[in-house]
Structure 1
Amino acid sequence: MKARFTTEQPAVRWQPLDNGMVDVTVCLNGQEITEENAQMVDKEQYITATDTYWEYDFHQFREKAESISQAAVEKNPEKYLEYQPLQEKTLEQKLQEQDENIRMLTECLLEMSEAVYV
């Protein structure tokens, strides 16, 4: 993804949060771009405005601080341009997995008991 800023950005911005998480912003391959835009002042009267900004390959994510290393991100920020943090399973997903495991183990137990007691 591309992002535009009014000022030059560091390659990596590391922002620790109070809840044990960290916000990571990666800005690479910055280019200073100048655009001229015509803006209407009065009826049929235009002025040319010049806008200058920085455009970067950009990625921002939030991750558990224990799961990621600031030194690793700063050493190789290109690797983190596509990084996707692991999503924690919801309570419903965890319960469904437990239910499936219980069913599978029950079936195994029944099969084993048939084999032993026949």
Structure 2
Amino acid sequence: MIEELLPGLVVAVEAHRDDPLWDTPLFAEEEALVERAVAKRRREFAAVRGCARRAMEKLGVPAQPVVSGERGAPVWPAGLIGSMTHCDGYGAAALVRAGELASLGIDAEPHGPLPEGVG
């Protein structure tokens, strides 16, 4: 669904709770970032990286680690810009070749009623 919201030159991959991407093996550099995290956080982390790797492959880029940089932002391989998001039971990544867009950002939230006072 998320790919329907993005320009056609963006490659988006999403995974729902039962998708095998939730059990994506991590590169050592990624594993080090979540070695102390609880299982739920580790699975979310793995799912979005699995989505990112699949998006890389669709762009013809070999799958590579996606580590966190300053303030937790993903560090993309040279030549790519992208964004990742996750919420309860859902993860997604969107990538594009650098130079085709100035920036790219996605976000997901569970579908449900907004808290009182938010509208």
What interval of TM-score do these two structures reach, taking the shorter chain for normalisation?
A: under 0.3
Higher strand share: 1
- TM-score, normalisation: structure 2: 0.24
Structure ranking higher in helix proportion: 1
